[in-house]
Amino acid sequence: MRGRLPNANPYHHNFLVGVGSVSNLATKPSAEIREDDRIGFTELMGYLAGGVTVEEAEFLRQLAAQVQSGCIVEIGSFRGKSAIALAMGVRQQDRMRQPAIYCVEPHRPFTGFYGGEFGPKDRGVFYQEMCRTGAFNEVALVNLPSDVAASSWREPVGLCFIDGDHRYAGVKQDFECWDPHVLPGGLVAFDDAIDPECGPHRLIDEILRTQRYRRIAGVGKVVVLKKSHVMTEPPRQLPTRRQHLLIACHDLVLTGGLLRFERMGTILRNWGHEVALVAMGDTVAPEFASKVAIMSLP
129-147 confidence digits (pLDDT tens): 999 999 999 999 999 999 9
| Whether residue 114 sits in one domain with residue 66 | yes
Q: What is the pLDDT of residue 23?
A: 38
Count of C-beta atoms within a 10 Å radius of residue 262: 18
Cα→Cα distances 109→80, 106, 112, 235, Å: 17, 9, 10, 36
Burial of 272 (0-12, 13-18, 19+ CB in 10 A): exposed
pLDDT score of 199: 96
Q: pLDDT-based confidence at 14, cuts 50/70/90? A: very low
Residues 105 and 162 in one domain: yes
The reply to whether 99 and 205 lie within a common domain is: yes
Can you tell me whether residue 212 is helix, strand or coil?
A: coil
Distance of alpha carbon 228 from alpha carbon 137, whole angstroms? 32
Asked whether residue 5 is assigned to any structural domain, the reply reads no
| Reported confidence tier of residue 113, pLDDT bands at 50, 70, 90 | confident
Angle at 35 between CA 42 and CA 28, to 5 degrees: 110
Contact 273, 235 (CB under 8 A): no
214 with 159, same domain? yes
Is the same domain home to 36 and 117?
yes
- Under the banding of pLDDT at 50, 70 and 90, the label for residue 258 is low
DSSP state of 32: -
Domain that holds residue 254: 244-296
238 assigned to some structural domain: no
Pick from 43-47, 111-115, 228-232: least confident: 228-232
The answer to whether residue 16 scores a pLDDT higher than 50 is no
pLDDT-wise least confident of 124-128, 148-152, 214-218, 246-250 = 246-250
Of the residues 168, 201, 227, the one at which a domain ends: 227
Number of Cβ atoms within 10 Å of the Cβ of 216: 10
Position 12 scores a pLDDT of 35
Calculate the alpha carbon distances from 211 to 170, 195, 207, 225, 296 in Å: 22, 22, 7, 11, 34
77 and 191 belong to one structural domain = yes
Q: In this structure, are residues 71 and 101 in contact, taking their beta carbons and an 8 Å threshold?
A: yes
CATH number of the domain enclosing 207: 3.40.50.150
How many structural domains is the chain composed of? 2
Q: How far apart are CA 210 and CA 179, in angstroms?
A: 13
Residue 3 lies in a domain: no
Report the pLDDT averaged over residues 169-195: 96
> Are residues 169 and 284 part of one domain?
no
Nearest to 2 by CA among 148, 115, 87: 115
- One domain for residues 288 and 148: no
Q: Quick check: is 232 in a domain? A: no
Closest CA to 228 of 210, 244, 242, 241: 210
pLDDT for res 65? 96
Residue partners of 144: CB distance under 8 A and separation at least 6? 104, 106
Residue at 249 is within a domain: yes
Contact (Cβ atoms closer than 8 angstroms) between residue 250 and residue 281:
yes
Q: pTM of the full predicted structure?
A: 0.69
Q: In this structure, is residue 288 part of a structural domain?
A: yes
Cα 58 to Cα 250: distance, rounded to the nearest angstrom: 48
Examine the domain organization and report whether 276 and 222 are in the same domain: no
pLDDT at residue 10 in the model: 32
Close Cβ partners of 219 (under 8 Å, ≥ 6 residues apart): 55, 56, 58, 59
Residues 217 and 277 in one domain: no
Domain assignment present for residue 84? The answer is yes
Burial label for 70, CB within 10 Å (0-12, 13-18, 19+), is: buried
CA distance 160 to 73: 5
